[in-house]
Structure 1
């Protein structure tokens, strides 16, 4: 049974502040809502600034939907995806949301489990040895049909993606911001010579994002998985906060369900959920749960102020 009830937000934030202060370890489970709160929105003005041409041609009003469109050519496929990857992976984080989260846990024994693929944890200074990104990385290519060597191999895409967005007519500022020059018609395709091909198997490249059984889990992925499992084993008897932030219903089995299960099983565990509109917990762990239905960025900012 899922518990949803009205709570005093201020009281819940203070409870979380105390739980974090007293915790021996903190395990963060981060979903898309955290990056949305940080400013990486997929709709609205940000979408219109960079994808107005695709919106006019195909009628979609968000990046997510256009990411699934079956484009007629690889030149147009990468015409869309190079912009998408650049602004969500290689630009500065628009706010201090991730930095505030780091400030809350940097002096704790922490680990991060995330379905986000935008590299925000690394860019904010989180220890990469304490991070397991389960669903891929916008900054990596993989073979579209991996086999042999390419079956467990990914490829950095920064230089290629940079060349792609420049070829469309964009400019790149010193801080990485993608600029639409005035009086410039942006192209919707990239040159055929920039369409990436896997150097190991000769197949077309694609994004390293989990969507089907062709997703490549490289050596780094398995190393991160092992570090996460080792962290769980070594902290099972400790006072641990399972801090779930911005996790929706798309892949609840990766973070949400596991956090509920371990909070129920671990005698000294606390489950905390930060999520605007989706903060809840099962009745079985009601007394061990802290649910804050409010803006994630505002909640983290208040918590940081109290710690400071």
Structure 2
């Protein structure tokens, strides 16, 4: 088990590390991308400041919160108010394109490679950018899916039409009651398919993607492989970060890469086969 006290940051110059990464990408056979919130942040999905005020100034004035995350946890008195907020949130963070072409640049970098993506992001940016959906595993859900809030069954439902209707028809920060999503099986309220507790629905698509990812790793576990970690923090390190470290340690032909704005580091056990670059991911991809 890796000990956090033994984690080290790269001391090599920024541009030297980028050059090393470029050479490694060009010569590697397989790339496993692990993406966290930092990648979407680099792509312009900012949840406070100017972007928050652009879409939620009226909500801020009425409810007193100052960023999109806080708005998601606000105790709205009615479902009409709740879905007025969430329909706007989903529309701008799931159905609108990312403000910056970071995901498109990433695809250009790996499109001719044998790649797979595992991500904790739920904004669907990979698929919108053109990544092969059969090479994507969204572990934590998708803003574009509803599920039963109970849940009474393990099935999810596309929500784009409902969300766009809510956006078009809401007035005074409330949606019409007839647009409130209800489970077609038990009639209870629907909710987003997001992993926040033990009610998260892992539907057929989720299990298919999980199996594809597992098979991809198993069939290439001893090969020339690059584990490319992008914007992953320590909120849920057991999903991407720790497994990437372990798989790199177990395979002498593997290389671990960590790109992160604030905390780019690797354990000493794999430091010689690691490339850590601290900086904006979008700018690094441009240089590559």
TM-score range, shorter chain: over 0.9
Deviation at 1:193, TM superposition (A): 0.7
TM-score normalised by length of structure 2: 0.96
Q: CA contact under 8 A between 2:10 and 2:277: conserved in structure 1? A: no
Q: Which residue of 2 aligns with 1:135?
A: 140
Aligned: 1:112 with 2:126: no
Q: CA contact under 8 A between 2:34 and 2:229: conserved in structure 1? A: yes
TM-score normalised by length of structure 1: 0.90
Inter-partner Cα distance in structure 1 for 2:19 and 2:197: 42
Q: CA contact under 8 A between 1:146 and 1:201: conserved in structure 2? A: no
Inter-partner Cα distance in structure 1 for 2:175 and 2:166: 6
Q: CA contact under 8 A between 1:274 and 1:294: conserved in structure 2? A: yes
Deviation at 1:105, TM superposition (A): 0.5
Root-mean-square deviation (Å):
1.0
Render the CA deviation track for 1:72-91: whole Å, top value 9, x for unaligned.
11111101100000001111
Q: What SS is found at the alignment partner of 1:236?
A: coil
Q: Tell me, which stretches of 5 or more residues in structure 1 are unaligned?
A: 170-186, 304-308
Q: Output aligned runs, 1:270-285, within 5 Å.
A: 270-285=255-270
Deviation at 1:5, TM superposition (A): 4.5
Q: Output aligned runs, 1:65-144, within 5 Å.
A: 65-144=70-149
Aligned: 1:253 with 2:258: no
Q: What SS is found at the alignment partner of 1:67?
A: helix
Corresponding residue to 1:56 among 61, 64, 73: 61
Structure 1 segments (4+ residues) deviating >3 Å: none
Deviation at 1:254, TM superposition (A): 0.4
Corresponding residue to 1:155 among 142, 154, 157: 157
Q: Which residue of 2 aligns with 1:200?
A: 185
Q: Output aligned runs, 1:151-300, within 5 Å.
A: 152-168=154-170, 187-300=172-285
- Report the number of matched residues: 283
Aligned: 1:36 with 2:61: no
Q: What SS is found at the alignment partner of 2:73?
A: coil
Q: Tell me, which stretches of 5 or more residues in structure 2 are unaligned?
A: 1-5
